[in-house]
Amino acid sequence: MLYNYPERYFMNRLLCLEDIDGLSEEAEFAFRELQSNGELNSATSIKLENGQITSGQKTVRGPIASLACTTHGEIYEDNMSRVFLIAVDESPEQTRRIIGYQNSKAAGETDTRKEQDSKGFIRNLVRCLEPLEVVNPYAGRLQLPEDAHKIRRLHDLFLNFVKMVTLVHQYQRKKDSKGRLIAEISDIEEAVSIMFDSIVLKVDELDGSLRQFYEQLKAFIGQRGRDYEFTRFEVREATGVGKTQQHHYVNKLVELSYIRQYGHANRGFKYRIAHWDNYSDLRDRIKTHLGNQISALRTEHQRTPGRTPELPMVAERG
């Protein structure tokens, strides 16, 4: 239980959960609190020197970075809204790349020492970074898609990610009179580029794995005509997805009215795609929406080179 760890045990650490499905409801709550609030507080009993038992408060402090994996993202809505979503690439091309690397490593063709040297080099680069404060004078000048899921949290996540990009480039960034790093337009552009797929996932009704499955299914059915009725066996044959996972995907698509189910259980159900959405258009729309805003910022900056938008003045208390 996270509440029982020493006060500073998790401070500035990366907390990785290989499978979040194994957490109890109480552990999930503690994990979310540590993510959002940066600390955990709990009531506990304290034994004084005279032997008397009294109540007290135990605190476990962050901040933390977190990385969690799950195959049932839709049931962790409270968790998903607090993080950037990354879908595993299940494409055949990625599978071939992974198998190729595994074969190369098994055959002794991969220089593992060079891999370790590269990891060590990156760790040393991170050690060179100073924990500086970052200000973003362009905050509010770039609007994320309004139809994104829980836009308030996503907007805060994005602003923090821009700060991370600026922090990584701290030796190439200017500072204000208070010693704070000043974010540049290129930081915003890089943040959008890196997190674009995650932003799309926040807009798309389907989670990453389900979207990949549905796109494969649409491609398969599209070759046979949009009104083609198909069986679950054909779905497995077309997508290569296992029976259990396919059962989950198909039921979810039926629930969301993306496909319709016909027939009876004793004779076997048949299905037909009911909603032919255009995922490519969705991605293009979001990319254009963000790209136009960045272009406008660059155009404005070119008209007044060397000028950075003024930072809001904060009155100091006497």
Fold classified for 208-273: Arc Repressor Mutant, subunit A (1.10.10)
pLDDT at 120: 96
Whole-prediction pTM: 0.78
pLDDT at 191: 95
Within 8 A by CB and 6+ apart from 2, the residues are 10, 27, 30, 31, 34, 40, 60
pLDDT at 239: 85
User: How many CB atoms sit inside 10 A of residue 204's CB?
Assistant: 21
Closest CA to 90 of 203, 214, 243, 274: 214
H-assigned helices in the chain: 25-37, 77-80, 92-106, 112-127, 151-168, 185-203, 208-222, 232-239, 243-255, 279-303
Question: How are beta strands 270-273 and 259-262 bridged, if at all?
Answer: antiparallel
pLDDT at 306: 61
pLDDT at 314: 47
Note down pLDDT in tens along the chain; length 318 residues: 788 888 999 998 998 888 887 788 888 888 888 888 889 888 887 777 787 888 888 899 988 888 888 877 666 667 777 788 888 888 888 999 999 999 999 999 989 899 999 999 999 999 999 999 999 999 988 999 988 877 888 899 899 999 999 999 999 999 999 999 999 999 999 999 999 998 998 888 888 888 989 999 999 999 999 889 999 888 888 888 888 888 889 999 999 999 999 888 778 889 999 999 989 999 999 999 999 999 999 998 887 766 666 555 444 444
What's at 260, amino acid-wise?
Answer: R
What's at 307, amino acid-wise?
Answer: R
User: How many CB atoms sit inside 10 A of residue 193's CB?
Assistant: 13
Length, in residues, of the chain: 318
Could you tell me if 33 and 40 are in contact, meaning their C-beta atoms sit under 8 angstroms apart? yes
Chain mean position to CA 234: 32
DSSP-assigned beta bridge partners for residue 272: 260
Domain boundary assignment for the chain: 2-80, 120-203, 208-273
